Structure 1
Amino acid sequence: MHKFSIPDIISNIKAEKTFEAVSADYSFTIKIDNYAPYICGAVHDGHQFRKSLWENCLHTAYDRWYEEDPCTKEMVQSHPIVIAGRDSRFEYDLNRAPETAIYEDAWGKNLWKSPLTSQEREESLAKHDNFYKVVHALIQKIETLYGKTIVFDMHSYNWKRWDREVPTWNLGTSNIDNDRFGSLASAWSKRLETMNLPNGIKSTSKINDTFQGNGYFLKYITQNFKNTLVLATEIAKVYCDEYEGTLYPEVVRSVEVQLKELIPLQLKEFQDNIT
């Protein structure tokens, strides 16, 4: 994987070059094997945490891992276009708008021993800004080529913290054009329920049950590109022990293999039904 500057990444996209790169500051990765009519994103996959922030942070590495979305890039890594964050959401959250992307506290616990300096904040927000410059160029290119795009926005969530039964999969659709795309979201939910997961894990799916799809990644794309559908797709962390920090690679692999079949089916339905 080559290290590219933001201008070089955007230049490659505009020229329709295939490439695989990590951004020059190592904050995100992008892979384009071919300019397919869909994109996979994993904005919370990252666990990196800038060393200059370590001593000032009250959360442990496990605290951060617990609220991140490990393996969500791995679940879609075999698809032709994949963009994924490498930095922890505790440094800056790509799924929040810039003005709220740096946490003061996180899940009821103060994050910093002392407030961040303006320089520290600016360094983090510059990475956030660069990521969205590339996202914009990428969506713009795919919409130009195909007239429409579908984005699979992959996340995970801690299901054991809920005091009720929750689904294996949750789709957040409150910020998409449901008059136009609602039936496609329902179809995606039904497809996810067909997964046959290892270890006796049931694959259930609901829409707007645990989360409603209020993330900035979805909102940014939806507000700027009217012919792009973003499917905010969350898997419960059945692929790990969220309390022990143990990953179950057989479950991650099973999800990856089955998404290789299900995503193209969803893409075809999108292409056939959206003009």
Structure 2
Amino acid sequence: MSKMSVDEIIDAIGNEKTFHAVSDDYSFIIKIESYVHFICGAVHDGHQFRKELWENCLLSEYERWYEEDPETLNMVRTHPITIAGLDSRFEYDLNRDPENAIYEDAWGKKMWKQPLSKEAKDFSLAKHTNFYKVVNALVSKIEQLFGRCIVYDMHSYNWRRWDRKVPTWNLGTSNIDNNRFGGMVEDWRASLSEMIFPNDIDTKAKVNDTFQGNGYFLKFITNNFSNTLVLATEISKVYCNELSGVIYLDIVSIVEEELKKRIPQHATIFIEKTKP
């Protein structure tokens, strides 16, 4: 893995180079092993929280971890194109627009002892901006090469906070063109529901059951690219203990192995069934 500036990353994409890089401020990573028509993203995988914010933050490390999406990058790490945030959503949330990316409170809890300075906010928002410069360049290149693109937008969610039974997989589709891509959504939902987990974990997959796909990553790409489908794909945290923070690596490995075959299969169907 190399350290590269945003300009260097964008230049490498423009010249169709393969590379595995961390941004020079260590805020995100990107890997391109080959130029294919599908991208895997994990914008909430990051847990980094810069030290100058520690004393001012009212939330514990566990409280931050609880709302992040650990292991979502590992679930898709084998695919040719991956991009993931390294910083915690509690510094700035890549799945929110810039105006709302820095929390004042989170899930009913106040975030800061003292309001953040403009300088502190600007420092974080610059990283948000740079990430989306790279996303823009990446999706532009894939559409240029293939005429269309599909993005698997990986997330996780806490099932324990719900007072009803929730699905292991949820697809959020309220901000995509369902008339055009509804069939692809159903194909993906059906594929996810076929996974087999141990310990009697239900593999039910639903659409817009717990979340509706209102994230900025999906909206940014959908609003800027007419031939790219973003599938907001949420797995409930059956792969960890939400209360203790223990990760069930065997479950993570099963998801990774299943997605290793299911994502390329679905992406192939997408390229066969869609036209730019």
TM bin (shorter chain):
over 0.9
Within-5 A mapping of 1:120-131: 120-131=120-131
Report % sequence identity: 64
Give the CA deviation at 1:181: 0.4
1:15 and 2:15 matched? yes
Moved more, 87-96 or 257-266: 257-266
Give the CA deviation at 1:199: 2.5
Determine the C-alpha separation between the residues in 1 that align with 2:246 and 2:204.
Answer: 22
1:170 alignment partner in structure 2: 170
Within-5 A mapping of 1:1-275: 1-275=1-275
Give the CA deviation at 1:6: 0.4
Determine the C-alpha separation between the residues in 2 that align with 1:61 and 1:199.
Answer: 29
Contact in 2 for aligned 1:149/1:228 (Cα 8 Å): yes
Determine the C-alpha separation between the residues in 1 that align with 2:200 and 2:166.
Answer: 16
Determine the C-alpha separation between the residues in 1 that align with 2:40 and 2:130.
Answer: 18
Determine the C-alpha separation between the residues in 2 that align with 1:89 and 1:267.
Answer: 28
Give the CA deviation at 1:254: 0.2
Give the CA deviation at 1:201: 1.3
Determine the C-alpha separation between the residues in 2 that align with 1:273 and 1:78.
Answer: 25
Give the CA deviation at 1:108: 0.1
> What is the identity, as a one-letter code, of the residue corresponding to 1:270?
F
TM-score when scaled to structure 1?
Answer: 0.99
Runs (4+) of structure 1 moved beyond 4 Å? none
Determine the C-alpha separation between the residues in 1 that align with 2:160 and 2:112.
Answer: 26
Moved more, 209-218 or 195-204: 195-204
Q: SS of the residue aligned with 1:71?
A: coil
TM-score when scaled to structure 2?
Answer: 0.99
Cα deviation 1:39-98 (Å, max 9, x = unaligned):
000000000001100000000000000000000000000000000000000000000000
Determine the C-alpha separation between the residues in 1 that align with 2:59 and 2:259.
Answer: 33
Q: SS of the residue aligned with 2:244?
A: coil
Q: SS of the residue aligned with 2:75?
A: helix
Cα deviation 1:206-232 (Å, max 9, x = unaligned):
000000000000000000001000000
Count of residues in Structure 1 that have an aligned counterpart in Structure 2: 275
Contact in 2 for aligned 1:222/1:230 (Cα 8 Å): yes
Q: SS of the residue aligned with 1:141?
A: helix
Give the CA deviation at 1:198: 2.4
Determine the C-alpha separation between the residues in 1 that align with 2:198 and 2:225.
Answer: 38
> What is the identity, as a one-letter code, of the residue corresponding to 2:23?
S
Give the CA deviation at 1:18: 0.2
> What is the identity, as a one-letter code, of the residue corresponding to 1:125?
L
Give the CA deviation at 1:273: 1.0
Structure 2: 5+ residue stretches without partners:
none
> What is the identity, as a one-letter code, of the residue corresponding to 2:14?
K
Determine the C-alpha separation between the residues in 2 that align with 1:273 and 1:17.
Answer: 28
Determine the C-alpha separation between the residues in 2 that align with 1:82 and 1:94.
Answer: 15
Structure 1: 5+ residue stretches without partners:
none
Contact in 2 for aligned 1:14/1:137 (Cα 8 Å): yes
RMSD after superposition = 0.5
Determine the C-alpha separation between the residues in 2 that align with 1:261 and 1:202.
Answer: 20
